Amino acid sequence: MSRLRLKSRQWIVDEEDRIIMGEGRKEILETIERTGSINQTAKLMKMSYKGVWSKIKVTEAYLNLSIVHADRKMGSRLTSEGKALLEKYRLLKEACLKEDNKWFNRIFGGDWPEHGGQAK
């Protein structure tokens, strides 16, 4: 029998709710870091090259930082600022999930049924 659990997502957004950093950009940066290629990242994520590049550029423009260095001969890599952004997002996500789970357990823990049915 499975227990209920909470799934949460975090987005860092600008004043107009445009995403600056979230799960998608995290995956883009991790994949660039792993493959060394924006093109390969786009293929693996089933996105267009332009789509991946535009998400990177939006984040860079808002933060006024270069987070990905692209070189036709040497490939692509995260800059030190890109690595720092990725690590800070990972830390934020971890901290948020811990706090979310704490609240979830306070509110739904204890007498909540393990699956389906009505609460007692």
- CATH number of the domain residue 75 falls in: 1.10.10.10
The answer to whether the beta carbons of residues 65 and 81 sit under 8 Å apart is yes
Residue 70, token pair as written in the block = 């692209």
The set of residues, in sequence order, having a beta carbon less than 8 Å from that of 77 and lying 6+ positions away, is 32, 33, 36, 68, 69
Range of the domain at 86: 12-108
Distance between start and end Cα atoms, the chain: 18
Residue 76 has φ and ψ, to the nearest 5°, of -115, 150
Q: What is the pLDDT of residues 14-23, one digit of tens each?
A: 999 999 999 9
pLDDT above 90 covers a percentage of the chain that reads 75
Residue 84 maps to a domain:
yes
Residue 116 maps to a domain:
no
Residue 6 maps to a domain:
no
- The DSSP 8-state label assigned to residue 12 in this structure reads E
What pLDDT is stored for residue 103 in this prediction? Answer: 92
Our count of domains for the chain comes to: 1
Q: What is the pLDDT of residues 66-103, one digit of tens each?
A: 999 999 899 999 999 999 999 999 999 999 999 999 99
Beta bridge pairs of residue 21? 12
Residue 72 maps to a domain:
yes
Residue 68 maps to a domain:
yes
Residue 5 maps to a domain:
no
Residue 71 maps to a domain:
yes
